[in-house]
């Protein structure tokens, strides 16, 4: 029997995320672990370099809380919901401190993870060239991107971006077994490549399932266990975002966050209530239900739209 | 021809203009907001075989309701394929898609877009989201549809930062870069419809929306905008197009706020 890696979010973050680390946060709107993000803030981790193909409000929380020195990404915003004010305050005014960002395109970021996952040093792109992202760098200098003529004779030059291999990454998925074989469905985002690019991975999941359950549908596995260092069971762990098949996105809560984040003092009120004021995810859920009612909580629950089962027989 | 609507808003005429740019059977990568409504309108009118693709890796989405974001969970069930960013943007990067939508804070006469900053990149007055998939869509899609608020501070002689190249410095300068895609086909603005000269690649006004006039369009453009010899009023939305937008696609008015 292999070792179980099941632990609490508190243990996982304190054991595996250190000040100054490069931390990959997996997902694309879907599959983002707010449970682990909140725990990083509660443990007041500092000087992190955070990377993800596209960031949403989880980055805003980390930036506002002073955990982040550097961002590697293509995007920090909340789509049609609106801007992220902690990000803007940091970039425009240096509040709470200056944050540097290396800007890539969404595909360039994902390609950097792909190269990292495949163990190749860099990857050529059709995009990025011709943009000012080629010439503007905050700290990587000429290591950010290079333009190289195609050695195979197409006659064109391509942007080469270096492999990105974060020290640690984390994600929220539907399920994993105790050892950390992770299964996910719905919008995969920058996963599975961003996860496979990391040296180590922490995963929070809606449910821990048996190894036998994993083995009944192995095509659904996005990450095998060997890179996973911690498995944290956190139902509702992606709220206010969604987890396909479990609960939908909580738009009201996201709009509420954006309103509160407009000013520093109301942002602090939000954080005191929803991050610093709760010890862990179960207190967060209890607080959510007492604040908004069980009807609202239950209303987020996903409808049943099961896939038909397939035959793996031989 | 159907009857024209008389009470459409600017957002509605933009969504309709975007829809009319899409042809049947085309593969289209869709962003949120007006592009999404435009594409869904095309799907319900003249382009029922359009393949709707989202950056988040959804291919041939058939959602039961109007998705709110490009990663809305309602896009997944019913899709022909669901992957991640490598699947969604990989086919863009490969040059497989016909149409992509773009927007930004600033645009210049050659269709170069800025979605990063107002002011100096290193000390921005305003910092925006960044590229997201915009740069990839601009490079990879065979043609792009740009949707913009038409204001002098956005239609600029020079953009503060090039996030997504259009025709760069015009003429053959884009061609020399060897992107899979051919560049912007049209700009649908709040004031009119603009296209790009086949040789010089400079933007010109093809039509102005019924609510405005030539002088207003010129006054809201940060360079001496060229005007088509046969410039005319934009064909207004039909009653049926407006009905589909309001009643079927955005019944609660999330995207089409009354303006």
Q: Render pLDDT for B146-202 as a digit per residue (tens, 0 to 9).
A: 999 999 999 999 999 999 999 999 999 999 999 999 999 999 999 999 999 999 999
Q: Tell if the CB–CB gap between A127 and B121 is shorter than 8 Å.
A: no
At residue B81, the pLDDT reads: 97
Mapping DSSP to helix (H, G, I), strand (E, B) and coil, where does residue A216 land? helix
A30 forms beta bridges with A28
Same domain, A229 and A250: yes
Give pLDDT tens digits for A233-259.
Answer: 999 999 999 999 999 999 999 999 999
Pairing relationship of beta strands A221-223 and A200-208 according to DSSP bridges: unpaired
- Find the CATH number of the domain harbouring A272: 3.40.1080.10
Choose, out of A53, A81, A111, A126, the residue to mutate when testing the contact with B (most B CBs < 10 Å).
A126
Residues A150 and A226 in one domain: no
Q: Rounded CA gap, A126 and B181, in Å?
A: 10
How would you label B101-128 residue by residue, b for 16+ Cβ within 10 Å and e otherwise?
Answer: bbbbbbbbbbbbbbbbbbeebeebeebb
Predicted confidence at residue B256, as pLDDT, reads: 81
Rounded percentage of chain A residues whose pLDDT exceeds 70: 100
* pLDDT tens per residue across span A140-151: 999 999 999 999
Q: Which H helix or E strand runs over A233?
A: strand A228-233
Active site residues of B: 55
Output the pTM of the full model.
Answer: 0.97
Answer yes or no: do B134 and A105 touch at CB < 8 A: yes
Q: How many domains are there within chain B? A: 1
**pLDDT, position B258:** 56
Average pLDDT over residues A104-132: 98
Cβ of A189 within 8 Å of Cβ of B72? The answer is no
Has residue B254 been placed in a domain?
Answer: no
**Non-local CB neighbours of B56 within 8 Å, separated by 6+ positions:** A28, A29, A30, A187, A189, B70, B71, B75, B84, B85, B88
Q: Could you tell me if A22 and A145 lie in one domain? A: no
Rounded average pLDDT over B51-75: 93
- Residue B43 belongs to a domain: yes
Task: State how far the Cα of A109 lies from the Cα of A89, in Å rounded to an integer.
Answer: 24
Work out the mean pLDDT of chain B and round it to a whole number: 95
**Between chains, do A248 and B77 touch, taking CB under 8 Å as contact?**
no
pLDDT of residue A191: 87
Is A273 inside any structural domain? yes
Nearest one of A197, A222, A225 to A211, comparing CA atoms? A225
Please check whether residue A45 lies inside any domain of the structure: yes
What DSSP designation does A53 have? S
Cα B206 → chain centroid: 16
Residue A310 belongs to a domain: no
Residue A306 lies in a domain: no
Q: Which of B56, B116, B126 sits opposite A187 (nearest CB)?
A: B56
Residues A78 and A186 in one domain: yes
pLDDT digits (tens, 9 = 90+) for B108-135: 999 999 999 999 999 999 999 999 999 9
User: Residue B31 — very low, low, confident or very high, per pLDDT cuts 50/70/90?
Assistant: confident
Q: Is residue B201 a contact partner of residue B170, using CB atoms and an 8 Å limit?
A: yes
B11 Cβ neighbours under 8 A, 6+ residues apart:
B34, B255, B256, B257, B259
Residue B132 sits in a domain whose CATH number is 3.40.1080.10
> Shortest Cα distance from B237 to chain A (angstroms)?
24
Strand A221-223 vs strand B27-29: parallel, antiparallel, or unpaired? unpaired
Is A229 domain-assigned? yes
Residue B259 pLDDT > 60? no
**Banded model confidence at residue A192, pLDDT cuts 50, 70, 90:** very high
pLDDT score, position A220: 97
A55 with A144, same domain? no
Let me know whether A126 and A197 are in one domain: no
Q: Is residue B239 part of a domain?
A: yes
| A50 occurs within a structural domain | yes
Give phi and psi for A270, each to the nearest 5. -60, -45
- For residues B35-51, give the mean pLDDT: 95
The domain containing residue B51 runs over which residues?
Answer: 10-249
Instruction: Give domain status of residue B258, yes or no.
Output: no
How far apart, in Å, are the Cα atoms of A245 and each of A178, A302, B74, B76?
21, 5, 11, 10
- Determine contact: B118 vs chain A, CB below 8 A: no
Q: Which chain A residues touch B180 with a CB distance below 8 Å?
A: 126
- Closest residue, chain A, to B91 (C-alpha): A107
Exposure letters B204-214 (e unless 16+ CB within 10 A, then b): bbbbbbeebee
Whole domain around residue A26: which residue ranges? Answer: 9-103+165-299
Cα–Cα nearest to A280, from A221, A236, A248, A250: A236
pLDDT at residue number A87: 98
Residues A36 and A177 in one domain: yes
The reply to whether B259 falls in a domain is no
Note whether ipTM > 0.90 here. yes
Q: What integer pLDDT is reported at residue A1 of this predicted model? A: 61
Question: Which pLDDT band holds residue B1 (cuts at 50, 70, 90)?
Answer: low
In a domain, A305, yes or no: no
Q: At what angle do helices A85-93 and A251-261 cross, to 10 degrees?
A: 30
| B155 in contact with A, Cβ within 8 Å | no
Report how many domains make up chain A.
2
Question: Is A110 inside any structural domain?
Answer: no
Shared domain for A87 and A133, answered yes or no, is no
Residues A169 and A132 in one domain: no
Range name among A207-221, B59-73, B199-213 with the lowest pLDDT average: B59-73
Q: How many whole angstroms separate alpha carbon B61 and alpha carbon B68?
A: 13
What average pLDDT does range B245-254 have in this prediction? 91
CA B95 – CA A233 distance, rounded (Å): 41
Q: For position A111, what pLDDT does the model report?
A: 98
Tell me how far CA of residue A243 lies from CA of A166, A175, A288, B19, B147, in angstroms.
24, 11, 17, 32, 31
Phi-psi region of A106 (alpha: psi -120 to 50; beta: other; left: phi over 0): alpha
**Interstrand relation of A100-103 and A68-73 (parallel, antiparallel or unpaired):** parallel
Name the pLDDT band for A206 (thresholds 50, 70, 90).
Answer: very high
From A113, A132, A162, the end of a domain falls on: A162
């Amino acid at each position: 029997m292999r070792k179980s890696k099941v632990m609490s979010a508190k243990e996982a973050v304190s054991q595996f995320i250190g000040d100054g680390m490069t931390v990959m946060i997996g997902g694309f709107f879907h599959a983002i672990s707010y449970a682990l993000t909140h725990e990083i803030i509660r443990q007041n981790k500092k000087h992190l370099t955070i990377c993800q193909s596209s960031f949403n409000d989880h980055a805003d929380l980390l930036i506002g809380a002073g955990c982040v020195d550097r961002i590697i990404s293509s995007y920090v915003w909340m789509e049609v919901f609106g801007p992220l004010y902690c990000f803007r305050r940091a970039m425009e005014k240096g509040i709470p401190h200056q944050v540097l960002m290396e800007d890539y395109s969404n595909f360039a970021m994902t390609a950097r993870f792909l190269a990292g996952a495949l163990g190749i040093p860099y990857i050529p792109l059709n995009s990025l060239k011709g943009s000012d992202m080629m010439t503007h760098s905050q700290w990587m200098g000429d290591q950010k991107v290079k333009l190289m003529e195609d050695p195979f004779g197409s006659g064109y030059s391509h942007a080469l971006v270096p492999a990105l291999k974060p020290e640690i990454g984390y994600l929220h998925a539907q399920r994993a077994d105790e050892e950390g074989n992770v299964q996910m469905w719905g919008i995969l985002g920058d996963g599975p490549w961003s996860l496979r690019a990391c040296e180590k991975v922490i995963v929070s999941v809606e449910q821990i399932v048996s190894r036998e359950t994993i083995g009944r549908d192995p095509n659904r596995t996005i990450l095998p266990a060997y890179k996973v260092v911690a498995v944290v069971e956190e139902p509702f762990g992606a709220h206010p975002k969604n987890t396909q098949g479990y609960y939908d996105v909580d738009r009201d809560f996201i709009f509420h966050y954006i309103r509160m984040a407009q000013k520093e003092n109301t942002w602090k009120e939000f954080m005191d209530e929803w991050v610093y004021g709760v010890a862990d995810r179960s207190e967060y859920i209890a607080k959510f239900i007492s604040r908004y009612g069980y009807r609202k909580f239950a209303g987020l629950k996903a409808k049943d739209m099961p896939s038909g089962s397939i035959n793996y027989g031989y | 021809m159907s009857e024209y609507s008389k009470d459409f808003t600017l957002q509605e005429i933009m969504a309709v203009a975007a829809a009319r740019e899409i042809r049947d059977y085309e593969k289209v990568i869709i962003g949120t907001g007006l592009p999404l409504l435009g594409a869904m309108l095309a799907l319900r009118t003249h382009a029922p075989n359009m393949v709707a693709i989202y950056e988040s890796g959804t291919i041939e989405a058939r959602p039961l309701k109007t998705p709110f974001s490009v990663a809305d969970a309602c896009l997944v069930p019913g899709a022909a394929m669901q992957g991640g960013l490598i699947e969604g943007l990989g086919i863009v990067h490969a040059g497989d898609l016909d149409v992509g939508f773009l927007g930004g804070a600033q645009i210049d006469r050659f269709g170069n877009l800025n979605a990063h900053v107002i002011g100096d990149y290193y000390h921005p007055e305003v910092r925006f989201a960044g590229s997201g998939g915009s740069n990839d869509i601009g490079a990879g899609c065979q043609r792009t549809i740009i949707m913009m608020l038409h204001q002098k501070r956005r239609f600029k002689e020079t953009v503060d930062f090039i996030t997504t190249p259009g025709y760069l410095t015009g003429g053959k300068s884009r061609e020399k870069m060897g992107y899979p895609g051919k560049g912007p086909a049209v700009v649908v603005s709040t004031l009119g419809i603009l296209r790009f000269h086949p040789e010089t690649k400079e933007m010109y006004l093809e039509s102005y929306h019924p609510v405005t006039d030539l002088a207003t369009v010129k006054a809201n453009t940060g360079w001496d905008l060229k005007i088509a010899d046969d410039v005319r009023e934009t064909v207004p939305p039909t009653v049926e197009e407006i009905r589909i937008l309001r009643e079927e696609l955005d019944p609660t008015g999330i995207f089409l706020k009354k303006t």
